[in-house]
Structures are given as structure tokens and as C-alpha cells.
């Protein structure tokens, strides 16, 4: 059976290194913090050229970053309408209001024009999501942020390792986050996340918030939270980080095979990768005019698929009281047309193309 993301094949490929690293942690007696977490943070900092602070998940990373940036009840934060719910959810959990910006219908990234049109007196910041693995349009977003005095938070949960004009993801916002959820391009064997910032004060604040608001044992400067990455997950991530660039190359080659196959088929277009961007291909996503028939053909061929995402955030029941201000938009179009296909460095692309050839 073809897997949507083949985490087992990846484990088999690095088994010796992983088991050695896992055993060393289990035998060390140090399970929270310690040398593996410190070493991972140094490696993540070196990879991105910024300061990395690990935590317990991408969602926690967003909450910590938003808190460090000073989000208060009553504030408005612009988020993309078409993405996983976490950015909007974290804004709402802090008592602020997510304002949903539309997307570009081709790249599926947050639209700077839409962001600009939504900025008002209560707007404090913008969360840009690097959707499906490529960076959002940061030149334009930074300009908007600068002209309105807004902070910019880069949600790179899906795009650790992507680049824009040669610059690493996780370096474009005042702060950035990523997720180490197992199926992410850099994933561990449980939940995990990280916060990134070039600003040392914000990094220190994030670290304090993630550790019960404490820098000194039993002295709590602010009400924080417990959000720590396990040493075991850090050890796993260190092994996988060493293979990440090779995996990103393999993902790109797989995406190119898909692109070449679908180029000859009417009624569908792959997500466009913007000029200057490289993608991690966290998802390989197509926009398909007749999704029902397309999905039926994939089922017939035994090719797994997912719909990322079936509903724009402004239509989610939890945001019902905000929905009235939004008209039908490109996020609606994407939610009706998007289909994601199997993608990871170990995806058996030859077999998938053979199966596709039988049904298209
Ligand atoms: C864009 C985006 N932001 C945030 C998250 C949250 O990450 P986590 O699952 O590690 O909490 C995800 C996870 O899917 C995501 O896709």
C-alpha cells in the first residue's frame, strides 16, 4: 500500500543512527532539556542563521511568539483565510481577533493586497503562513508591516528548509515558528516545535514564557506555560536534520515528476511556486476543476490523497460570529479545488506515475 507520508521508510533508512541516538538519551537519565536540546537549538540556529528556542509543538510556538510580541485581548491580527487553523486559533485563545486575509489563487499564499485592505486601528500584526512549503510574499508583507507599524510573524510549520531569494525560511518575520509534527518536512516522533527570531530579547522572552515564565528557578516574572521539547525528540531531530537537505532535493525531484505528468492533463493546475522560492513540498497540491471525479480516479488507482483544507477559516463554526464580514473569495475556490498527493523523500514516484497513467 502506498503511504501518504512514508515515515516508516524514513525510519528504516536512518535506523542505525536513530536507534543509537534514542538509546543514548534513554540511558542518560536526562529526558527534559539537557545537552541534546541545547545541541539541537544550536544546529537549528546555525541552519537558519537566527536564534532558535524549542518548545512542545508548533501551536505552542505560535502562542509563545504571539505572547512575546505582546498580543492583548481586543487586538486584531491578520491571518490567511486558507491554512491549518492553528494561527487563527492561537490569536483567538489570547483574546484577540483573527482577521482573515484572502490568498493568491495560484500560489495559495496570503495576498498582500488583501492584508493591506484589512489593516485598521486595532491591527497589531500579521501572521503569514508558508503554505505547503513555500514562503509567503515577504517583500510586500514587510513593507505593509513597516508602513503601518505592525509586527510580522512567520508560520513556517510546513516550510523549515525552504528559501526565498536564497534566504532561509524562519528568518523573514520579527519572529517565526516551525512544527516538528511527525509528518512535517522535519518531523520528530511526537509533538515538537520551535520559535526563531534575530532579536535576542524576544528569544529570551520566548524561552522564559515556555518555561513557566521563569529564568531563575522558582522565580516567575510572568505567568508562562510548560512547553518543552523532550530530549528524545531533540535527539531524533538532530539525526533527521543532518539528512534534511538531501530529503528536500528528493522532494523537489518528486514534485517535478508530478508536474511533468499533470502538465498534459486538462482541468487541473499544481500550486504555483513563486519566482525566487524553493519549496519543501510539505504538500504536493493541485487545484482540480472536477475534484469529485479526480478523487474517484485516485481511489481507483489506489493512490492516497488528502484535502488541505476543505473549508476557509472564515467559515469554521468556531469563527461563526466573524463570518458575516467576508464575501466568497479565493480561499473558498481553493477549498473546493485543492487535492494533495503522496509526498515525502521516500514516495515511490515511479509506481505512482504508473498507476496514474492507468486512470488518466
Ligand atoms: C501552518 C501550520 N501552523 C501551525 C501548525 C501547528 O503545529 P503543531 O501540530 O506542531 O502544533 C501546523 C500543523 O499542522 C500548521 O500546518
Residue 94 to residue 287: CA distance in whole angstroms: 34
How many angstroms is it from 357 CA to the middle of ligand 1?
34
Q: In angstroms, how far apart are the furthest CA atoms of the chain?
A: 65
Q: Where are the domains of the chain?
A: 7-238, 244-359
Q: In which element (H, E) is residue 79 found?
A: strand 76-80
Which of 66, 79, 84 best tests ligand 1's pocket when mutated (most atoms within 8 Å of CB)? Answer: 84
For residue range 214-269, what is the model confidence (pLDDT) as tens digits?
Answer: 999 999 999 999 999 999 999 999 999 999 999 999 999 999 999 999 998 999 99
Q: Is 57 in the pocket of ligand 1 (CB under 6 A)?
A: yes
- Fold match, 7-238 / 244-359: no
Just give the CATH number of 7-238: 3.40.640.10
pLDDT at 32: 95
Angle between helices 200-210 and 58-68 (to 10 degrees): 120
**Class of 244-359 per CATH?**
alpha beta
CB 200 within 8 A of CB 51: yes
Please give the C-alpha separations between residue 265 and each of 288, 296, 298, 359, in angstroms, as whole numbers: 10, 16, 14, 11
The model's pLDDT over 173-213, given as tens digits with 9 standing for 90+, comes to 999 999 999 999 999 999 999 999 999 999 999 999 999 99
Amino acid at each position: 500500500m502506498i503511504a501518504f507520508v512514508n515515515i516508516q521508510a524514513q525510519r528504516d533508512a536512518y535506523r542505525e543512527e536513530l536507534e543509537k541516538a534514542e538509546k543514548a538519551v534513554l540511558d542518560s537519565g536526562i529526558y527534559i532539556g539537557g545537552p541534546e536540546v541545547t545541541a539541537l537549538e544550536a544546529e537549528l540556529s546555525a541552519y537558519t542563521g537566527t536564534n532558535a528556542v524549542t518548545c512542545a509543538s508548533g501551536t505552542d510556538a505560535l502562542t509563545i511568539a504571539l505572547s512575546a510580541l505582546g498580543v492583548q485581548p481586543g487586538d486584531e491580527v491578520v491571518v490567511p483565510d486558507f491554512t491549518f487553523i492553528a494561527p487563527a486559533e492561537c490569536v483567538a485563545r489570547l483574546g484577540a481577533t483573527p482577521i482573515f486575509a484572502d490568498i493568491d489563487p495560484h500560489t495559495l499564499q496570503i495576498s498582500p493586497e488583501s492584508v493591506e485592505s484589512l489593516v485598521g486601528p486595532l491591527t497589531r500584526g500579521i501572521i503569514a503562513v508558508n503554505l505547503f512549503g513555500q514562503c509567503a510574499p515577504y517583500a510586500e508583507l514587510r513593507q505593509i508591516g513597516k508602513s503601518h507599524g505592525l509586527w510580522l510573524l512567520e508560520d513556517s510549520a510546513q516550510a523549515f528548509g525552504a528559501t526565498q531569494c536564497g534566504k532561509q525560511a524562519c528568518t523573514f518575520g520579527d519572529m517565526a515558528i516551525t512544527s516538528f509534527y511527525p509528518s512535517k518536512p522535519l518531523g520528530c516522533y511526537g509533538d515538537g516545535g520551535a520559535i526563531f527570531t534575530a532579536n535576542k530579547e524576544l528569544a529570551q522572552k520566548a524561552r522564559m514564557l515556555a518555561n513557566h515564565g521563569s529564568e531563575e528557578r522558582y522565580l516567575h516574572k510572568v505567568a508562562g506555560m510548560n512547553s518543552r521539547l523532550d530530549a528524545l525528540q531533540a535527539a531524533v531531530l538532530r539525526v533527521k536534520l543532518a539528512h534534511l537537505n538531501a530529503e528536500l532535493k528528493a522532494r523537489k525531484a518528486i514534485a517535478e515528476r508530478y508536474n511533468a505528468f499533470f502538465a498534459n492533463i486538462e482541468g487541473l493546475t499544481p500550486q504555483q511556486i513563486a519566482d525566487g522560492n524553493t519549496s519543501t513540498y510539505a504538500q504536493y497540491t493541485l487545484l482540480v476543476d472536477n475534484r469529485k471525479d479526480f478523487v474517484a480516479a485516485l481511489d481507483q488507482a489506489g493512490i492516497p490523497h488528502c484535502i488541505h483544507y476543505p473549508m476557509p477559516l472564515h467559515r469554521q463554526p468556531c469563527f461563526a460570529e466573524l463570518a458575516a464580514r467576508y464575501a466568497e473569495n479565493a480561499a473558498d475556490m481553493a477549498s473546493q479545488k485543492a487535492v494533495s498527493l503522496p509526498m515525502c523523500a521516500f514516495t515511490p514516484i515511479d509506481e505512482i506515475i504508473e498507476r496514474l497513467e492507468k486512470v488518466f
